[in-house]
Amino acid sequence: MIAPKHPLEQHLELPIPDTRSASIQEIREIQLRSRIPGVVKRFILLDTDTFWQYWWCVPGRILLPEDVELLSSDRPRVESILEKLIWLFGGHCFTKDSARTDEQIPIYDWQDVLTFAQQQGFESFVLDIDFMPLAIKRDHRHSHPTQANTDTTHIAVEPPHWHIEFLQLLPTNGGFEIQQQKTVCSCQIWTGKPFLKHLPSGIASARYDLWVARPLDITQPLWLK
């Protein structure tokens, strides 16, 4: 459950601006000059008592060679955790053109997920993982266009789930960057069925494209703050 140490661990806390206050080019110049990693350690929930750790690519940063080596060496550990989650809950794989409405048939073997990724061209990749806690939101997008927002006719419900995305890396000056025009290739591990419920009728339908949950981003455990 514990992520390995970063070889540039002493540089992880060095000051660096984010994309709201500096350009991506400026951020990367600072990174290369000071050898600041392009990853941070995240903490992901399994339940209220159990966390697991992994290294996460920070948007806008370049990945140093040390980052990529760490991600590659740690991938078997991360995949062994995902393999167990897939076996327990089942997974749903999607591309840009996959149907996301109605019932979906889950798969229970991580190797089938990897085969799916290979079919989309992912022979070499890094994994981006988000944990999404429970979300229950009024959904205006499925109301009749003539209705006011106060007359919402649907409720969207997304149970807790893990969202895994396959990303490709491209060599760049001094390191690697995530391919910007990325191919959509993801696997979602749901702890329940996401659904849209029609308030007047009470009819519910499974939907995997509600997008009402937001990632739980823990880069430092609460008990250490």
Residues 6 or more apart whose CB falls under 8 angstroms from that of 191 comprise 89, 159, 160, 161
How confident is the model at residue 123, as a pLDDT? 87
**Domain chopping of the chain, boundaries:** 9-224
Measure the CA–CA gap between 176 and 61, rounded to whole angstroms: 9
pLDDT classification of 222: cutoffs 50, 70, 90: low
Percentage of the chain lying above the pLDDT 70 cut: 92
Measure the CA–CA gap between 6 and 33, rounded to whole angstroms: 18
The owner of tokens 């990174």 is: 31
Sign of CA dihedral 7, 15, 60, 224: positive
Q: Which of 189, 121, 183 is nearest to 160 (CA)?
A: 189
Quote the pTM value. 0.89
Per-residue pLDDT reduced to its tens digit, 93-134: 999 999 888 888 999 999 999 999 999 999 889 999 999 999
| Average per-residue pLDDT for the chain | 90
Q: Which of 79, 24, 91 is nearest to 54 (CA)?
A: 79
pLDDT higher than 80, residue 20: yes
How confident is the model at residue 185, as a pLDDT? 95
- According to DSSP, residue 64 is labeled P
Per-residue pLDDT reduced to its tens digit, 138-172: 986 655 544 455 567 899 999 999 999 999 999 99
Looking at per-residue pLDDT, the higher value among 141 and 38 belongs to 38
How confident is the model at residue 157, as a pLDDT? 96
